Amino acid sequence: MSTPKTIRWGILATGGIAQTFTKDLLVDPTTRGVKHIKHTVVAAASSSSKSRAEQFLKDTGSPSDAKAYGSYEELVKDGNIDVIYIATPHSHHYQNAMLCLDAGKNVLCEKAFTVNAAQTRALADKAKEKNLFLMEAVWTRYFPLSIYVRGLITSGRIGPVGRVFADNSIAMNPEESFSDGKHRMVNPDLAGGALLDLGIYSLTWVFQTLYHTQPKDTRQPPKVVAALKSYGPTQAADETTTMVLSFPRSAEAGGEAHAIATTSLRVATLYHEDGEVPGIRIQGPKGEIQVFPPAFRPTHTRLVMKDGTIEDKHWPQPGPGKGSNFKNGFGGAQNPEGEGHGMFWEADEAATAIVEGRKEGKYEGLAESILIMEVMDEVRKQGGLVYPEKIETTKYPTQL
């Protein structure tokens, strides 16, 4: 067997998800059966200070020779890096990703990819021009659970999917949790609101079941109708957003397929060990696939067939990991000590693509990311949600 290729990561930003991702990155890939690649962290940068980057490297258990930088500009100049993971608020992704691509770095960028579709398009163009890898870090797409669900659909087991319900919401009591209005979840300057942060997962489930499972040459964009309720204290971020999508289909493929995608910072499809309610329901004439919350990190599926068959499956995140610091206090998923968080699968895909010379992710390419951003643009347009020009612009560089 050939020696695994080691991919050298640079981490841009040191907040909550950067910590979780980096700890996952350092979980031995063989614990999940991955033998062709390895990951290492060679550098991290904080826009606040070099010492914060140093602390981050310590806290995540990164190799002791990893470099700490006090600015993102220094990080992108490091010639030792194969790929940069961007973990700033979505408002900053466009400027940060442009900085990396301009400097010749491959990029894995957190979701939501950008604030709008024009920005994602501009990044895709830049990556193409520079012949670099670029992928939106929609980690859920790379879970074995998601691969299983898509496989069930393409196998025809439930028949042509006619309808999908997809909710990703967290009842987070926003006024109390974000009383000063500055948190990225509600702050318009940071592209706050449910849609870009949480609704992206509802749309991920809709697209990976109703769009990505279709043959490439027959995929068509959906029509969208949306209702958007603003978050009271700022009136410039959405609190609850509901989308109805209709995907055109040929008669043989079952005719038009519908989806209802919902998201909220106020109410949610709650999950408890006993009596779980599926947040995702994928319905065909012969059966239904249920996926239990949270939609971003599900670990339980159920197939319910019309003939009475029920198949429950549990999808633990393989260890030995380091546990997770992912305690967001709003009911977000937490993995038990001794398990990973599940972010390593998207990292494996990014690393594999780089080794193979591919420029896009396998389970969500740039065209699909752009289309989902276009849907979110349309939803915001119908709901009258506009962010400040400095974060909507494609002008690079722009000081944020």
Ligand X SMILES: NC(=O)C1=CN([C@@H]2O[C@H](COP(=O)(O)OP(=O)(O)OC[C@H]3O[C@@H](n4cnc5c(N)ncnc54)[C@H](OP(=O)(O)O)[C@@H]3O)[C@@H](O)[C@H]2O)C=CC1
Ligand Y SMILES: O=C1OC[C@@H](O)[C@H](O)[C@H]1O
Q: Are 165 and 266 in contact (CB under 8 A)?
A: no
Helices (H), 5-116: 16-25, 50-59, 72-76, 90-102
The answer to whether residue 14 forms part of the interface with ligand X (CB under 6 A) is yes
- Stretch 118-147: interaction string toward ligand X, x if CB under 6 A: ---------------------x--------
CA 258 to centroid of chain Cα atoms:
23
Q: Are 372 and 261 in contact (CB under 8 A)?
A: no
d(CA 116, CA 98): 15
d(CA 270, CA 128): 42
Q: Which of residues 170-189 bind ligand Y (CB under 6 A)?
A: 170
The answer to whether residue 328 forms part of the interface with ligand Y (CB under 6 A) is yes
The answer to whether residue 364 forms part of the interface with ligand X (CB under 6 A) is no
Q: Is the Cβ of residue 136 or residue 378 nearer to ligand Y in the bound state?
A: 136
Query: Which of 70, 53, 59, 49 has the alpha carbon at shortest distance from 26?
Result: 59
d(CA 226, CA 229): 10
The owner of tokens 């599900």 is 298
* Closest separation in Å from C-beta 122 to ligand X: 18
299 binds, among ligand Y, ligand X, none (CB under 5 to 8 A by kind): none
Residue nearest to ligand X (CB): 15
Q: Is the Cβ of residue 60 or residue 88 nearer to ligand X in the bound state?
A: 88
Torsion of CA 7, 11, 17, 20, to 10 degrees: 50
From 207, 296, 344, 363, residue interacting with ligand Y (rule: CB under 6 A):
296
d(CA 306, CA 312): 15
Q: Omega into 215 within 30° of 0, i.e. cis? A: no
From 67, 92, 249, 322, residue interacting with ligand X (rule: CB under 6 A):
92
Q: Is the Cβ of residue 50 or residue 258 nearer to ligand X in the bound state?
A: 50
The 3-state DSSP class for residue 335 equals: coil
- Stretch 95-114: interaction string toward ligand X, x if CB under 6 A: ---------------xx---
The answer to whether residue 54 forms part of the interface with ligand Y (CB under 6 A) is no
d(CA 280, CA 282): 7
Q: Is the Cβ of residue 139 or residue 247 nearer to ligand X in the bound state?
A: 139
The answer to whether residue 51 forms part of the interface with ligand X (CB under 6 A) is no
* Closest separation in Å from C-beta 372 to ligand X: 14
Query: Which of 93, 129, 99, 164 has the alpha carbon at shortest distance from 369?
Result: 93
* Closest separation in Å from C-beta 187 to ligand X: 8
Q: Is the Cβ of residue 132 or residue 170 nearer to ligand Y in the bound state?
A: 170
The answer to whether residue 364 forms part of the interface with ligand Y (CB under 6 A) is no
Residues in contact with ligand X by the rule CB under 6 A: 13-18, 46-48, 52, 87-90, 92, 110-111, 139, 184, 190, 197, 296
